[in-house]
Amino acid sequence: MSSVANKARSGIKWGAFGKITNQFFSWIATIWVIRLLTPDDFALIALNDLAIGVLLIVGQFGLGGTLIRTPELSRQSINQTFSVLMLANIVLFVVFQFSAPFFAQLFEQPKLTLLIQVSALSFLFGPFITVHKALINRNMQYKQLNLVDIGISFGQILTNLTLALLGYGFWALAVGLLVAQFLRVVCYRMVSQTSLSLTASFNGFIPLVKDGSLNFFHSTGWEINQRLDTLLINTFSGSNALGIYRVVLSLAEKPVTMVGQLIQQVGLSSFAKVSHDKALVSHYVVKSSAVLAMAIFPVFFGIAAVAPNLVPLLLGDKWLTAIVPLQIICMVQMINALRVIPGSALYASGFAKRKLLHVSVAFFCALIGWGVGLQYSLNVGCLLFAAMYVVWFIWHIFDSCRCLPIAALDYWKSLLIPLFLSAVMFISVTSVGEVLSTNIIVELVIQVLLGGVIYGGLLLLLFKEYGLGLLSLLKKS
């Protein structure tokens, strides 16, 4: 198993390098684009995603994870998977060409018609991306994958900025996404070095479908759950509030997207390799969660602490109403990152049905939080949703511990130190922000430096052995 551990470490290192590089430039570009666009532009993108986003996941049928997990994968199975995905996605593409006017009328946004029809091209790219990426992850080619993703990210960023500067509004984001998907088709094919072809023979394909069905329902459930906010905010608070929330989400989810993709990329492959040893899987869950918490807790607590200065400085005064939602959603995103690890372990260990229960409970918690809170305001909606999500996460961990031999106390203890350090940092940085009355840039720099000193200083002074122990997990054995 040492080879799996070393490949996982290598994947984490290269993945971290690639994701951090991507996110650094992506943040700069996103902030620039936000300053150029309006809340209505982001509302249109959110509604477009609501219309086709779930079906983009449906069009994968959970078969990407199946290709990774299957012990013996034949060329026939690969082509069968590709053929099924291509047929299904062509049907979805055609359906959205005709149904786009219905969504435009439903959401009272005439511009949605053409936006949905153009964005539906994603369905034609999807089968190539799903199969090639699964093969890359199956072979643990993390270095190549992340280097390619850096180049793809630059292509998307360049497209977004160019079109935004030329005044194309929401089309800057929509076309940028299509450019990125086209580049993935080309580059993933080069990395996987596997040619795909259509086939009419599906002998032996049923086991793959059965394995992928549970992952399909789970992934679809999460996609629906993650778009529930868009539907409810647009219904109860209007497009302007939706645009503000979408901007908040685009900023707050970037770190968790980086981490979540890395965990899914490395975690599922690694857990699948050692799925026969439940004790080892459980050990990985606790340790990787501790490493993740140590990395992301200070980031999200830090963003929440400096938000009153960060938002007006980077985005401009027209986005001031985004400050409070950003602070709240930062807390939600910490949970979003953490939930991926036990979820991958459950799926790889044969407890996919349990994940269906988890996503169902999460959906009802979100429905209650948003449904009740948005009756008052967007801020209250964010707050109640966050509270319900915390309750769900606590239950999610305890229930996962029943399926895997994880000691719940050990898991919570692994999060306690980074949570304590981040909370102290948050209180200190927030207090300093209220006292200082200098230039906003100077205040922000002081807050960031103070936060880093407090978090790093307390870690070295009080928990040096703990921090060094987590760092050693990423070193090659």
**pLDDT for the residue numbered 315:** 82
Spatial separation of the C-alpha atoms in residues 82 and 79, rounded to whole Å? 5
Residue 265 pLDDT > 50, yes or no? Answer: no
Question: Is the model more confident about 444 or about 347?
Answer: 444
Domain positions in the chain are 1-211, 274-477
**Which of 143-147, 226-230, 377-381, 444-448 has the lowest average pLDDT?**
143-147
Q: Which of 66-75, 133-142, 145-154, 183-192 has the lowest mean pLDDT?
A: 66-75
d(CA 385, CA 366): 6
pLDDT of residue 65: 65
Higher pLDDT pick, 287 / 244: 244
Residue 250 · residue 319 · CB < 8 Å: no
At 293, the pLDDT band (50, 70, 90 cuts) reads confident
355 φ/ψ angles, rounded to the nearest 5 degrees:
-65, -30
**Range among 60-69, 246-255, 377-386 rated most confident:** 377-386
pLDDT at 215: 62
- Is residue 433 within 8 A of residue 443, CB to CB? The reply is yes
Long-range contact set of residues 404-411: C-beta below 8 Å, sequence gap at least 24:
404/278, 404/281, 404/282, 404/285, 404/342, 404/345, 404/346, 404/349, 404/351, 405/278, 405/279, 405/282, 406/282, 406/285, 406/286, 406/342, 407/286, 410/286, 411/285, 411/286, 411/289
Distance CA 303, CA 372 (A): 27
pLDDT of residue 383: 96
Q: How far apart are CA 56 and CA 185, in angstroms?
A: 15
pLDDT at 71: 65
Question: Taking a C-beta distance cutoff of 8 angstroms, is the pair 188, 67 a contact?
Answer: no
Angle formed at CA 190 by CA 256 and CA 202, multiple of 5 degrees: 90
What separation in angstroms does the CA of 126 have from each of 37, 93, 159, 308, 369?
28, 11, 20, 39, 33
Residue 195's nearest CA partner among 135, 243, 145, 154 is 135
Percentage of residues in the chain having pLDDT higher than 90: 26
pLDDT-wise least confident of 57-66, 70-79, 263-272, 379-388: 263-272
Stronger pLDDT, 345 or 426, i.e. the higher one: 426
For the stretch 439-448, pLDDT in tens is: 788 888 899 8
Q: Dump pLDDT digits (tens) for 158-198.
A: 898 899 889 898 899 899 989 999 999 999 888 888 888 88
For residues 441 and 101, the model is more confident at: 101
**Better-predicted residue by pLDDT, 332 or 10:** 332
Residues 2-22 have pLDDT tens digits of: 555 555 555 555 555 555 666
Q: In whole angstroms, give the CA distance from residue 92 to residue 244.
A: 30
Asked if pLDDT for residue 477 goes beyond 50, the answer is no
β strands within 260-357, DSSP E: none
The CA distance from 282 to 401, in Å, is 9
| Over residues 66-95, mean pLDDT | 81
pLDDT band at residue 435 under the 50/70/90 scheme: confident
289 Cβ contact partners less than 8 Å away, ≥ 6 residues apart:
338, 341, 342, 411, 414, 415
Give, for 290, the enclosing helix (H) or strand (E). helix 278-314
Angle, in degrees to the nearest 10, between helices 112-119 and 39-58: 40
For 49, 71, 83, 146, 293, the CA distances from 132, given in Å and listed in that order, are: 24, 17, 13, 14, 31
Looking at every residue in the chain, the average pLDDT score rounds to: 81
Entry pTM: 0.78
Extract the tokens encoding 357: 């229960």
